[in-house]
Structure 1
Amino acid sequence: MRRNATTRYPILLIHGLFGFERIGHFELFHEVKEALKTTGNRVFIPHLSATHNNEVRGEQLLRQIDRVLAGTGAAKVNLIGHSQGALTARYAAAHMPHVVGSVTSVSGPNHGSELADFLRKALVPDQLPDSVALNVVTLFSEFLTLMSGSTTLPQSALAALNALTTEGVSRFNDKYPQGLPHTWGGHGAELVDGVRYYSWSGTLPTTKAAMLDPVHALCRGLSEYFITEAGQNDGFVGRYSSHLGTVIRSDYPLDHLSSLRRPVIGASALPDPILLYIEHALRLQAANL
């Protein structure tokens, strides 16, 4: 029997940095979108710049929210943002709270990414030892080789990187503090300006199946560049940096991309990352969203 997890408002799944339609052997958001549609939801994936700052992507999202509302007749939308998509969603909700029912951050760098800090320093001569700079840039370059896709929208990798550093996100948070915790590692307000805020994220798993996944191997390599949240990150985002609104959980055994997909190799992860989205749809349904 098909499970009914139909939300009142349409769901928009918002990709993050380098969020093309396909990454490696899987389509971005494909399993999530199909699972949510199977449970009765109207699901849309906005077309946003793969690389740009939060404001540019946020303005693009606002225009597409208008189109979804016009096309569906809905009064509001539910925004679920992965990685930088969480910051994009927060921008949209801050500017148009009357048309946003909820913002959900999945593995979002809501207080910045230590990896982005390292990458930014690696691009500036003499900021890091040559061997460290070379290694972190090489690892990230290997990650980018897994990406494929194209877009006609404006792109700026440097603008995106600056927007994801702890300094860049701190400036963003000064303008858009909705849902942010007042203490490090705490919860933020769930309801702000009529918008409900939620978040979940993971930390690197240690299962044998995960170790065989090439994407996970790169996440594990990149995780070595975390200092504040060493051992408490998913390879791209620190556990406590991800907190926003009501924190559902921030230590699921999932690397940064596993919060979007089931494992390519080996047995299914526990919990099933796709079921997390169904459970959240039920949570939104219960909140009349």
Structure 2
Amino acid sequence: MTDTANTQYPILLVHGLFGFDRIGPFNYFNGIKEALQRAGASVFIASLSAAHSNETRGEQLLVQIARILQQTGARRVNLIGHSQGALTARYAAAVAPESVASVTSVSGPNHGSELADRLRLAFIPGKLPEKVAASLTTAFGTLITIISGKPQLPQHALQALNALTSEGVAAFNLKYPQGLPNTWGGMGAAKVNGVFYYSWSGIIKGSLLSESMNLLDPMHNACRLLATFFTTEYKENDGLVGRFSSHLGTVIQSDYPMDHLDTINHLAGLTRHKANPVELYVKHAQRLKKQGL
């Protein structure tokens, strides 16, 4: 164990849609918490509704932030959110900036997801296919909560989907614009209301045969298929989120050779040899420490 990443404030990892802390031997942030702890960081993982709106999840996150501050005696926390977790973290920082030292978006749909747009168009509001899909996905979110052994939290799949569309995120951004770029593909303000903002993400590159161990990862193959549904950021996305849509605050890099799940070290670490997602989190914690966070 070292102290290279012993940040001044605790790190709170925030999961995305259908996320969890741990289910049996499986962690959402696979090996990331442990690596951060070995580097000296104090790390917690949020427990939020697996499927719900950004605001609902954000309110849940605020409760957990308050609990961590009371438990540790710290004044603030560093939030690192993956996917929808980035929007959840942004909400908490906008509402309670005095309790948040930094927000880091990892593969966050900060301008919406084209895939969510496609799914929203596929389900006509009020019609049977939408109702069936909503019931099934809401039930799935409930199942994740049950088998993860966490307290029951409300689930609402349609609100989650609407919260991730370009339209839904645009409405969210009007209320909580902190850290957003003024120009498409640019960087946002590095610091707003005393909160530092960062982001990183990946894109799917090359052919399937160039994937190294990812060739054996069924989730990567699914991401590669989903990537073909993008139009605005075609060939510039990770299967669920576009490269420039992910930009927030100081953009560390948005074209790492990783799909949407590689950035949380899934499945079983079958990631490309050119990028190590766990190292990215440790290096970022070292960055936060250097910044005095």
Task: State the TM-score, normalizing by the size of structure 2.
Answer: 0.88
Would the aligned equivalents of 2:257 and 2:272 in 1 still touch at CA under 8 Å? no
Q: Deviations over 1:203-229 (max 9, x none)?
A: 014423222210101111111110000
| Partner residue of 2:245 out of 230, 241, 246 | 241
Q: CA deviation at 1:3?
A: 5.6
Q: Secondary structure at the match of 2:225?
A: helix
Task: State the TM-score, normalizing by the size of structure 1.
Answer: 0.89
Q: Does 1:55 align with 2:55?
A: yes
The answer for the alignment partner of 2:167 in structure 1 is 167
Cα separation, 1, equivalents of 2:25 and 2:75: 36
Cα separation, 1, equivalents of 2:35 and 2:257: 21
The answer for the alignment partner of 2:288 in structure 1 is 284
Cα separation, 1, equivalents of 2:36 and 2:92: 22
Cα separation, 1, equivalents of 2:53 and 2:97: 21
Cα separation, 1, equivalents of 2:256 and 2:17: 21
Q: CA deviation at 1:269?
A: 2.8
Q: Secondary structure at the match of 2:229?
A: coil
Would the aligned equivalents of 2:258 and 2:271 in 1 still touch at CA under 8 Å? no
The answer for the alignment partner of 2:216 in structure 1 is 212
The answer for the alignment partner of 1:200 in structure 2 is 200
Q: Does 1:40 align with 2:33?
A: no
Q: Does 1:269 align with 2:273?
A: yes
The answer for the alignment partner of 1:64 in structure 2 is 64
* Number of aligned positions between the proteins: 276
Q: Secondary structure at the match of 1:283?
A: helix
Cα separation, 2, equivalents of 1:258 and 1:77: 25
Q: CA deviation at 1:56?
A: 0.3
> How does 1:1-289 map onto structure 2 within 5 Å?
2=2, 4-22=4-22, 26-124=26-124, 148-150=144-146, 152-206=152-206, 207-261=211-265, 264=268, 269-289=273-293
| Aligned residue identity for 1:186 | G
Q: CA deviation at 1:47?
A: 1.0
Q: CA deviation at 1:2?
A: 3.3
Q: CA deviation at 1:124?
A: 1.6
Q: Deviations over 1:152-183 (max 9, x none)?
A: 10000000000000000000000000000000
Q: CA deviation at 1:242?
A: 0.0
| Aligned residue identity for 2:180 | L
Would the aligned equivalents of 1:7 and 1:281 in 2 still touch at CA under 8 Å? yes
Cα separation, 2, equivalents of 1:64 and 1:266: 31
Give unmatched runs, 5+ long, in structure 1.
none
Cα separation, 2, equivalents of 1:59 and 1:260: 23
| Aligned residue identity for 1:2 | T
Give unmatched runs, 5+ long, in structure 2.
none
Cα separation, 1, equivalents of 2:214 and 2:233: 21
RMSD: 2.5
Taking only the aligned residue pairs, the percentage that are identical comes to 59
Cα separation, 2, equivalents of 1:109 and 1:16: 10
Q: Secondary structure at the match of 1:88?
A: helix
Q: Deviations over 1:20-69 (max 9, x none)?
A: 23589842114110011111111111110000000000000001100000
Cα separation, 1, equivalents of 2:52 and 2:216: 32
| Aligned residue identity for 1:248 | I
Q: CA deviation at 1:262?
A: 5.7
| Aligned residue identity for 1:92 | A
